[in-house]
Structure formats: C-alpha cells, structure tokens
Amino acid sequence: MTIVLATRNPGKIEEIREALSGLDIAFRTLSDFPDLPEIREDGTTFRENAEKKALTVARATGLPALADDSGLEVDALGGAPGVRSARFAGEGADDRSNNRKLLDLLRGVPPERRTARFRCVLALAFPDGRVYTVEGTCEGRIVEDPAGEGGFGYDPLFLIPEEGRTFAQMTREEKNRISHRGRALSKLREVLPRIFSPKNDRPL
C-alpha cells in the first residue's frame, strides 16, 4: 500500500515513518506533489483540521493520505495555544517565537498550575471520502526555561514529571514511546490491517 503523508514537517515525517516501520507501506510526502496548494487549517478542533488535510490530499493525489494535527493545551491559558500551536506567535512564526510567547504568558505562574498536555489526531483518508481517525494525548508540565536540544516545537518546554526530563532531553525513541503522536500512531498501527482489508467498507 502507498500512503501520502500530508505534511511538510520533517520531524513529523520521521516520527511517522519510524512508528509504522516494518509494515508493507510505501510512503510519499507533499514534496512528491509540488503542485498541491497550501491547505488552510481553519478548523476549530484538531480532528477537523486533520480530516480536512487528509481528505484534500487524498482527493488531489488519488492515494490514501495520512494527516496529523496536533498541539499543546496549557490549562492556565484555557487550553491555548491549541489548534493555533504552530502559529501561536503569528502566521509564519518559528519554534523560538512560539516558545518565547508561551513563556511570557506563563511568567509568574507557579509550577503546580503549569499543567499541560500534547494532543494528536491522525486522520487517514481515501479518495472516495472514507476517513479514519485515532487520537493520542500526553500529560506534562511547562517548565520555566527551555531544556534540551532534541525534538522540535514546544519539546524544550514540555516536561514529563515521571521522567524528570523534557521531550527535548529524550532520544527520539524515548519520546516516541510516550508522546501523543507515538500513542496515536500505535493505535493506527493496530487498525491499519483492518482499514486496508477488502471487506472493510465503513469507518471504524
């Protein structure tokens, strides 16, 4: 089977490929389809955005497409940045700008109120309109200063209390084992054989 990964984020692409390695899947990415237009992520939930991206790419390429929409929900900020995680500091913002804005907004907030979670929704869509979704979450806390050199996005700020480390201080394998995306991909890996079964004709 061939699946188009509906993202240009190299970190996400690598995590997805590693999590689904060993399966009989050939992956393509948006780089293989340079004429595809940018998809406006205007949904109010991660699920809406993931489904929109996956369906748009599946219909444009004629191939199954896997889209991810994920982000950080900080309790002290009412769940922000949420679906705006990638553009928290404005359109075109980079990781450094987003992290700086988050820390500025949390200045003075005590550790016990800096609880947060990463949430990931994966949507696998087919050109005929079928869509399958799975979700994964990971609970943690926002630190006061960035720590670690690995990962991407908010990883240097997201502490796993049981580990005593941020995502950015973990190896990729360690992070993938417990992360929101890792958990969603684990669920997807379990159901993929059923999704691609000839007898399957409706979403799970």
> Would you kindly state where each structural domain of the chain is located, as residue ranges?
2-195
Quickly tell me which residue has 């949430």 as its tokens: 119
What's the rounded Cα separation, in Å, for the pair 95 and 101? 10
pLDDT at 202: 43
Q: Give me 46's structure tokens.
A: 């991660």
Helices 180-195 and 10-19 cross at an angle (nearest 10°) of 50
Domain 2-195 fold is: Maf protein (3.90.950)
Per-residue DSSP letter, 103: H
Residues 2 and 63: beta-carbon distance below 8 Å: yes
Catalytically annotated residue among 68, 69, 95, 155 = 69
- Say what the pTM is: 0.88
Tell me if residue 69 is catalytic: yes
Q: Collapsing DSSP states into helix, strand and coil, what is residue 113?
A: helix
Q: For residue 60, how many C-alpha atoms fall within 13 Å in the half-sphere facing its CB?
A: 20
Ranges of residues in the chain with a pLDDT under 50 are 201-204
pLDDT at 199: 56
pLDDT at 201: 45
pLDDT at 38: 85
Task: Find how far residue 117's CA is from the centre of its chain.
Answer: 12
What's the rounded Cα separation, in Å, for the pair 194 and 199? 8
Long-range pairs for 80-86: beta carbons < 8 A, 24 or more residues apart: 83/41, 83/43, 83/44, 83/45, 83/46, 83/49, 85/153, 85/154, 86/153
Q: Give me 70's structure tokens.
A: 């994920």
